[in-house]
Amino acid sequence: MSVIIQDPDILGGEPVFLGTWVPFTALFDYLEEGEPLAEFLDDFPTVTPQAAVAALEEARSILLARLK
């Protein structure tokens, strides 16, 4: 099961972490800015460390599958 969901009733269907209203893109924004994962998790306490790592692993798998 994915830790990222899309629901038209949550942020207009933007991908969010399961059980939260935290956009998945927020994680990438933090990492692109050079912020550590811990900072993202501190700022978004409804996202668990396991969910953040699982989301990154899922994104990695999708990207690698597209490159094959």
Cα dihedral across residues 13, 3, 23, 28: positive or negative: negative
- Encode pLDDT of 3-54 as tens digits: 999 999 999 999 999 999 999 999 999 999 999 999 999 999 999 999 999 9
**Which residues span the domain enclosing 32?**
4-67
Contact 13, 64 (CB under 8 A): no
Chain centroid to CA 63: 14
Q: How far apart are CA 51 and CA 6, in angstroms?
A: 15
What does the pLDDT read at residue 41? 98
> In the structure, what pLDDT confidence band is assigned to residue 56 with cuts at 50, 70 and 90?
very high
What does the pLDDT read at residue 23? 98
How many separate domains does the chain show?
A: 1
Q: Is the pLDDT of residue 65 over 90?
A: yes
What does the pLDDT read at residue 29? 97
CATH number at residue 31: 1.10.10.10
